[in-house]
């Protein structure tokens, strides 16, 4: 039963990866003009403790650097982690699968964005994930539509959008700067309502919402002109993104500590950044 659950979850993540890559490649093709459009390149990796993943990376005209990673790993948590992971104190074995995408855009007018969802199974099993938007020059309309798309996913599955949005704001916060990373989104973890089908359906809905709204926002802004000064502001904004991911992001730090694939973990870092 659990194995069947795991297979369905892993299959969903792989399918969502294919659809995200397809959506982003379509945008690149629209923007390419006469030049051959950028395409994703995929690279697999294996985890020494069990399982592995696949990175997909594209460098294009619109998407300066966009990665979509999937992984399915299993093994045993190291002793120092067993007390920290729910259900791992009774049995250190785990299974985990996830999808993560981070898009850094060439234009300062197009927002960067991130989405990830994951399922972790120990003696317990739960979903987690989220999506957030990081514009350099926020448009209220984009912020509103991004929140509305995620809010609709929450509403359709009986989740408290306000609570998950506030969780996102707390999480994507740079305390040393007193700044938010972006304009928010949703964040959830330890999602185990007791109804696997309901939790899995909500997790899929978050992916579907992102797949719909983010490409729409990219198309809305990708034609806008920008200045060198605005591009410079984008590089500085990305410096904050680097600070958050390396100083505060639990996923990044957990991955580095548990010997995850370095290139996959740090794929979230921007292609270029600046500190004034």
Alpha-carbon span 99 to 1, nearest angstrom: 22
Q: What is the smallest separation between the CB atom of 98 and a second copy, expressed in angstroms?
A: 19
Q: Does 81 bind a second copy (CB under 8 A)?
A: no
Out of 84, 201, 224, 262, name the contact with a second copy by CB under 8 A. 262
Which window, 35-43, 157-165, 191-199, 262-270, contacts a second copy (CB under 8 A)?
A: 262-270
Contact 27, 215 (CB under 8 A): yes
Q: Is 104 a catalytic residue?
A: no
Alpha-carbon span 203 to 150, nearest angstrom: 11
Q: How far is CA 190 from CA 184, 193, 202, 226, in A?
A: 20, 9, 13, 41
Out of 32, 85, 198, 235, name the contact with a second copy by CB under 8 A. 235
Q: Which residues contact 199 (CB under 8 A, 6 or more apart)?
A: 126, 127, 191, 192, 193
Encoding tokens for residue 54?
A: 């696949």
Nearer to a second copy, 32 or 174 (CB): 174
Alpha-carbon span 230 to 131, nearest angstrom: 25
Nearer to a second copy, 144 or 275 (CB): 275
Q: What is the smallest separation between the CB atom of 270 and a second copy, expressed in angstroms?
A: 7
Nearer to a second copy, 124 or 177 (CB): 177
Which window, 164-172, 182-190, 222-230, 264-272, contacts a second copy (CB under 8 A)?
A: 264-272
Which window, 114-122, 158-166, 201-209, 235-243, contacts a second copy (CB under 8 A)?
A: 235-243
Q: Does 274 bind a second copy (CB under 8 A)?
A: yes
Chain centroid to CA 170: 17
Q: Which residues contact 136 (CB under 8 A, 6 or more apart)?
A: 108, 109, 111, 112, 230, 233, 234, 237
DSSP state, residue 195: -
Nearer to a second copy, 138 or 271 (CB): 271
Out of 76, 92, 246, 254, name the contact with a second copy by CB under 8 A. 246
Which window, 112-120, 136-144, 186-194, 245-253, contacts a second copy (CB under 8 A)?
A: 245-253
Q: Which residues contact 175 (CB under 8 A, 6 or more apart)?
A: 248
Alpha-carbon span 34 to 53, nearest angstrom: 34
Q: Does 60 bind a second copy (CB under 8 A)?
A: no
Nearer to a second copy, 139 or 254 (CB): 254
| Contacting positions for a second copy (CB under 8 A) | 65, 176-177, 235, 239, 242-243, 246-247, 253, 256, 262, 266, 269-276
Residues catalogued as catalytic: 114
């Amino acid at each position: 039963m659990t194995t069947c659950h795991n297979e369905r979850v892993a299959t969903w993540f792989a399918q969502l990866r294919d659809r995200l890559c397809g959506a982003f490649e379509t945008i690149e093709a629209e923007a390419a003009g006469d030049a051959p459009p950028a395409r994703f390149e995929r690279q697999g990796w294996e985890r020494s403790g069990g399982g592995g993943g696949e990175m997909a990376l594209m460098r294009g005209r619109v998407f300066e650097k966009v990665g979509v990673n999937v992984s399915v790993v299993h093994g045993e948590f190291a002793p120092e982690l067993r007390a920290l992971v729910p259900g791992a104190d009774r049995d250190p074995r785990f299974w985990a699968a996830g999808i993560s995408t981070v898009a850094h855009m060439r234009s300062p007018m197009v927002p960067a964005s991130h989405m990830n969802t994951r399922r972790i199974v120990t003696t317990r099993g739960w979903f987690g994930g989220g999506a957030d938007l990081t514009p350099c020059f926020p448009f209220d309309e984009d912020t509103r539509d991004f929140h509305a798309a995620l809010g609709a996913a929450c509403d359709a599955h009986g989740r408290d959008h306000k609570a998950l949005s506030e969780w996102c704001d707390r999480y994507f916060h740079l305390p040393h700067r007193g700044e938010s990373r972006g304009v928010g989104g949703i964040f959830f973890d330890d999602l185990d309502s007791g109804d696997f089908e309901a939790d899995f359906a909500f997790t899929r809905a978050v992916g579907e919402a992102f797949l719909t709204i983010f490409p729409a926002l990219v198309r809305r802004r990708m034609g806008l002109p920008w200045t060198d000064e605005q591009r410079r502001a984008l590089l500085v904004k990305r410096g904050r993104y680097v600070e958050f991911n390396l100083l505060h992001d639990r996923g990044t730090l957990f991955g580095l500590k548990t010997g995850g694939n370095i290139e996959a973990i740090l794929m979230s870092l921007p292609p270029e950044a600046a500190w004034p």
